[in-house]
Amino acid sequence: MPVVQVPPAVLPAPVQARVRRTRWGAGSVEVKPGELDTHYGLWSSGHTGDARILGIPSGRELLRIPCFVPDALIGWGQTNESKEIMGTRPDGSLEYTVADTHHIHASYKDGIYDGKYAWVNDKINARLARFRLDYMICDKITKIPNIQGFHGIFPDKRDPVDPAINYTTRVFCGQEFHVPMPNKGADMTDNTKHHCLFTCVDAETMDVRWQARIDGNCDLIATSFDGKLAASNQYNTENGVLYPEMMSAERDACLFFNIARIEQAVKDGKFTTIGDSKVPVVDCTVEANKDPATALSVRVSVPKNPHGVNATPDGKYFICSGKLSPTATIIELQKVLDWFDGKLDDPDKSIIGEPEIGLGPLHTTFDGRGNAYTTLFLDSQVVKWNIDQAIKKYAGDKAINPVVHKLDVMYQPGHINATNAETIAADGIWMAVGNKFSKDRFLPVGPMHPENDQLVDISGDEMILAHDNAVRPEPHDFVIFKREWLQTKQVYALDDHPLALKDPKDAGVTREGKKVTVRMASIAPTYMPIEFTVKVGDEVTLILTNLDKVEDLTHGFAIPEYNVQFLVNPLETKSVTFKIDKPGVFWYYCTNFCHALHLEMRGRMIVEA
C-alpha cells in the first residue's frame, strides 16, 4: 500500500489534522468485521517460552507457537513428534520445561522476507528454535554448545562471497554471560578464564557451523544487507562480574565480525575446540585481531553500556543505543569494510554521528524515509530523529537539531519496530512499541500487571499514538511485515508424517508383547476405532490421523486419568506413548468443538486388570 503524501500546508489547519490522520498512509487502526489486518507481526513471548503471531494494525493475537516449553492446547511436549524436536532425557521426560524467548527474526531473500522460516532464542538454556512459517510450527531446536545467556540472534541476509546465494543461510547467536570453557567445574572463580562466544548456526540443517571467542560479551546482533558483516553491541567490554565493574568504562563497543574471513579461517583449520564439543572455535579476541590485513573482527567504540544494534534499511549504517549515555551512535558500514581493507587507520573513524536523543536509549527502528525511532527507557518516550541531520551535525554544523519529535509512551519502552523496518522495504506506516510497564493503562487485575504494546502511526511528521494493547509478559522483540510476504498452508498433507493412516480401514490395534500400537483416524463426528482394549502393564503408542481435510476442522483427543490431550489439524498425524497402569473404562473424547455432534465424538479405552 503506497503512502499517500498530501501536502498539509495547502489545507486549513483542522483539515490538515484529519488528512494527516486518515490519508497519510496509516489510516484507522480499526480492522472492521470481515476485514483482515494488513501486516503480520512475529512476537517473542519472553519467559512463557514461545512465540506469538499478531495481526497489525489490530494488535490481535492470532496464534501462539510453542517451541521450547510444553503447550497444553496442542499437546506440545506430550506428542512423540514434539518431544523429539524438544529433546528428552533417557527416561523420556523433557530435557527442559522453561525458556525465555527474546529475539525473533525471519529468513531473507533479496533483502526482504521470503516467508520460509523464523528463529527465536532461549536465553535460559541456550537453544535456538526454528519455525516453518507455512505451517507456523516449530520444526527444529538446536542446543548451542559451550555458552550461557544466549541473547541476540540475527539471520544473515545473503552470502558474503557467492552472489547466487541472495538469501539466508546462517543465523548468528550472541552469548551474554561469561563462563569457563568448558564449564565443567574448573576455573570457577578465575574470571580471566571465563569467555563469551559468537556462534553461527546453519539456517537449513540447524547444525552449529562455528564459534568465535571474543573479549567482553555479546548483547544484540545485527547483520548487513551485503552479507559481509555481522555485529554485536557489547556492554561489558570490562569483562566485569558485578554491575559496577560492568559500568566502569566510559565507552564499550560494537564488535564487527568479518564473515568471509572467519569462514576462510575455519576452512584453513585455524581453530581450536572446547571440551567435548567438535565445533570449530576461531579467535576473535582483540589482541589477536590488531592487523587489519588478517583481522577476523574489530571493535568500534560506543558509549556506555550500549543496548541494541540495528541496521538501517538503506544498508549503509548500524545504529547502537547508548543506554547509559543519552546518545545513539551511527556507524558507517563501508568504513568498517575500509578498515579491514587497510584504507582506514582507526576503526572509530567509522562513527559518523552521535546525536543526543534522550535518556536510556535502547532500540531503534526506521521508516524508510531517513528517520530513526529510538525507545528512551528512562524518559518513557520514543524519539524520532533524522539520520542525515545527525551526520551533518557530527560533521560540524552544531546548529542542527536532528530530533524531529518525541512521543510519550506508557511506560518504559524496550523494543520497537516499524512495518517492514528490518528489510530494504521499510514502509513507514505503523510502529509498535513494547512497554515494560502498564501501571494505570488498564483495569486493575491485582499485583501482576500486563505489559503494554502500543501502536503508533508514523506516516506523518509527528508520531500519533493509535492504540494500547495489553499483553501477557513479556514479549521482548518483534518484527512486522506486509501480509503479502507470507503464504501459509491451511491444511497439512498426509505425507508430512510417515505413519499417517491413509485409509480408515487400516485403523485398529496391533500388539507385540506388551507394546501396543493403536492406529486411529478422526472423521467428524467420530473416531475409528471407537473402542480398543489393552491390559495393565502395556505400553500404548496411539497414532491419530485427522482425515478431515476441510480447513479449520481440528479435532482434539483426550483420555481421562492418563494425562493425554492433544490436537490434530486437518490431515495432520500425531502420536503419544503412555504406560497403562489403571484398569477400568476410560472415555476418550474430542476436546475441540468440531461438529454439531462434537459432544458425541468419543470412544472407550477398556483396560483389563
Q: Is 593 in the site for ligand CUA (CB under 6 A)?
A: yes
Residue 88: strand pairing partners: 94
Q: Annotate each residue in 553-572 with x if it binds ligand CUA (CB under 6 A) or - if it does not, as one string.
A: --x-----------------
Measured from the CB atom, the residue of 144 and 590 that comes closer to ligand CUA is 590
DSSP label of 501: -
How many CA atoms are closer than 13 Å to the CA of 78, on its beta-carbon side? 19
Q: Is 594 in the site for ligand CUA (CB under 6 A)?
A: yes
C-beta of residue 309 within 8 angstroms of C-beta of residue 319: yes
Supply the minimum distance, in Å, between the C-beta of residue 606 and ligand CUA. Answer: 21
Q: Is 519 in the site for ligand K7E (CB under 6 A)?
A: no
Place of cell 570457577: 188
Q: Is 100 in the site for ligand K7E (CB under 6 A)?
A: no
- Residue with the shortest CB distance to ligand K7E: 414
Q: Is 414 in the site for ligand K7E (CB under 6 A)?
A: yes
Of 126, 362, 518, 543, which lies in the binding site for ligand K7E, with binding defined by CB under 6 A? 362
Place of cell 516449553: 69
Of 44, 79, 233, 305, which lies in the binding site for Ca ion, with binding defined by CB under 5 A? 305
Of 252, 422, 427, 451, which lies in the binding site for Ca ion, with binding defined by CB under 5 A? 252
**Ordered DSSP codes for 56-77:** ETT--EEEEE--SS-BTTTTBT
Task: Spell out a b/e string for 432-447, using b for 16 or more CB atoms within 10 Å of the CB, else e.
Answer: bbbbbebeebeeeeee
CA–CA dist 329, 479 (Å, integer): 22
Supply the minimum distance, in Å, between the C-beta of residue 83 and ligand CUA. Answer: 24
Of 103, 127, 170, 482, which lies in the binding site for ligand K7E, with binding defined by CB under 6 A? 103
Supply the minimum distance, in Å, between the C-beta of residue 471 and Ca ion. Answer: 31
Of 39, 158, 307, 384, which lies in the binding site for ligand K7E, with binding defined by CB under 6 A? 307
Q: Which of residues 513-552 bind ligand CUA (CB under 6 A)?
A: 524
Q: What is the pairing mode between strands 208-214 and 281-283?
A: parallel
Measured from the CB atom, the residue of 41 and 504 that comes closer to ligand CUA is 504
Q: Is 158 in the site for ligand CUA (CB under 6 A)?
A: no
Supply the minimum distance, in Å, between the C-beta of residue 590 and ligand CUA. Answer: 3
C-beta of residue 416 within 8 angstroms of C-beta of residue 374: yes
CA–CA dist 148, 179 (Å, integer): 7
Q: Is 233 in the site for Ca ion (CB under 5 A)?
A: no
DSSP label of 528: E
How many CA atoms are closer than 13 Å to the CA of 212, on its beta-carbon side? 35
Measured from the CB atom, the residue of 153 and 601 that comes closer to ligand CUA is 601
Q: Is 491 in the site for ligand CUA (CB under 6 A)?
A: no
CA–CA dist 357, 352 (Å, integer): 15
Which residues lie below 8 Å from residue 278, measured CB to CB, with a gap of 6+? none
Which residues bind to ligand CUA, rule: CB under 6 A? 524, 555, 590, 592-595, 598, 601
